[in-house]
């Protein structure tokens, strides 16, 4: 059993490298790439301050109930049970990244954040880079799609961080249809960085955010989610860019109130019909997917 499990892990860790040769020249816009939602949320720190994007009601809730409130929040914010290395080993290649500064932080450090703060950005990016160094034919999509409390110098710091960590592994922004595994392997590129900020227009290795759109169904109903995905995939594929099919159910305020103590995974699983695994329902994304 141990030997068999090891072989499966190796297969997932190097799945791009082991694809049939007929696929190597196909544009990556035509392939389904597995990704994760709020990819960094495994690292969410219950001892951290509340993120600056949170409404006043949440801020007040935490100020009254303190650590207990943050423990409850984490149950609704953490959509991942694996760190970056674990996700990469399981085959994930798209990462949904949301960046924030901490209020009154003298070091102006950058953190991943979703309601509460998570790992330092440089630590997470270096963890991903370590995997890429050991698996030189694997390619990742880093989608920086939300920024909180960031000024121009914070963006400059993040851009320099990307340069220092990934260097020549980053693929410059070109026409999406030109990007295939063969193209990337020939040039030793392993990282495509999508940056949802005007800063992307100033830096050659940043792909503008509109080249990775990610609409979502905003529903707790699996049937409505499937209908939304089916209706949108054909239209988005015509545009020739990368895109996200979010297999994500979004809890409403009433959903949170109903299951405040149980958390996202248990509450959404109980309220949903069908045989999906909860990990798929609350945390999965597919890049360029034609089907679920």
Cβ(265)–Cβ(281) under 8 Å?
A: no
Q: Which of 160, 30, 158, 156 is nearest to 97 (CA)?
A: 158
Question: What is the enclosing helix (H) or strand (E) of 152?
Answer: helix 152-166
| DSSP string for 208-268 | EGGGS-------S-HHHHHHHHHHHHHHHHTTTS--EEEE-----HHHHHHTTTT-HHHHH
Cβ(84)–Cβ(39) under 8 Å?
A: yes
CA angle 152, 154, 155 (to 5 degrees): 65
CA atoms within 13 A on the CB side of 261: 0
In the set 114, 135, 155, 196, the catalytic residue is: 114
In the set 37, 135, 155, 196, the catalytic residue is: 37
In the residue annotation, 114 being an active-site residue is answered as yes
Question: What is the enclosing helix (H) or strand (E) of 165?
Answer: helix 152-166
Structure tokens at 76: 């609704």
B/e letters for 16-41, b = 16+ CB within 10 Å, e = fewer, are beeeeeeeeeebbbebebbbbbbbbb
In the residue annotation, 37 being an active-site residue is answered as yes
Burial level of 205, CB count in 10 A (0-12/13-18/19+)? buried
Q: Which residues are catalytic?
A: 37, 114
């Amino acid at each position: 059993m141990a030997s068999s499990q090891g072989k499966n892990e190796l297969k997932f860790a190097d799945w791009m490298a082991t694809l049939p040769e007929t696929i190597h020249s196909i544009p990556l816009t035509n392939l389904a790439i597995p990704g994760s939602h709020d990819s960094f949320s495994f690292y969410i720190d219950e001892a951290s301050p509340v993120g600056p994007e949170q409404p006043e009601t949440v801020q007040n809730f935490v100020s009254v109930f303190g650590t207990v409130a943050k423990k409850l929040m984490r149950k609704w914010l953490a959509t991942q049970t694996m760190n970056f290395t674990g996700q990469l080993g399981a085959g994930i290649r798209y990462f949904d990244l949301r960046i924030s500064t901490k209020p009154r932080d003298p070091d102006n450090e950058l953190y991943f954040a979703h309601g509460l703060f998570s790992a330092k950005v440089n630590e997470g990016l270096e963890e991903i880079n370590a995997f890429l160094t050991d698996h030189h034919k694997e390619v990742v999509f880093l989608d920086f799609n939300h920024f909180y409390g960031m000024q121009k110098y914070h963006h400059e710091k993040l851009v320099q961080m990307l340069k220092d960590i990934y260097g020549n592994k980053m693929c410059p922004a070109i026409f999406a249809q030109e990007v295939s595994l063969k193209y990337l392997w020939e040039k030793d590129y392993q990282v495509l960085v999508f940056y949802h900020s005007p800063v992307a227009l100033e830096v050659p290795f940043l792909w503008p955010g509109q080249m990775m759109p990610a609409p979502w169904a905003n529903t707790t109903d699996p049937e409505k989610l499937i209908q939304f995905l089916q209706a949108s995939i054909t239209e988005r594929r015509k545009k020739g860019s990368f895109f996200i099919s979010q297999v994500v159910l979004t809890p409403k305020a009433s959903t949170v109130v109903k299951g405040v103590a149980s958390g996202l995974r248990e509450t959404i699983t109980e309220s949903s019909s069908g045989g999906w695994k909860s990990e798929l329902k609350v945390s999965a994304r597919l890049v360029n997917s034609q089907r679920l």
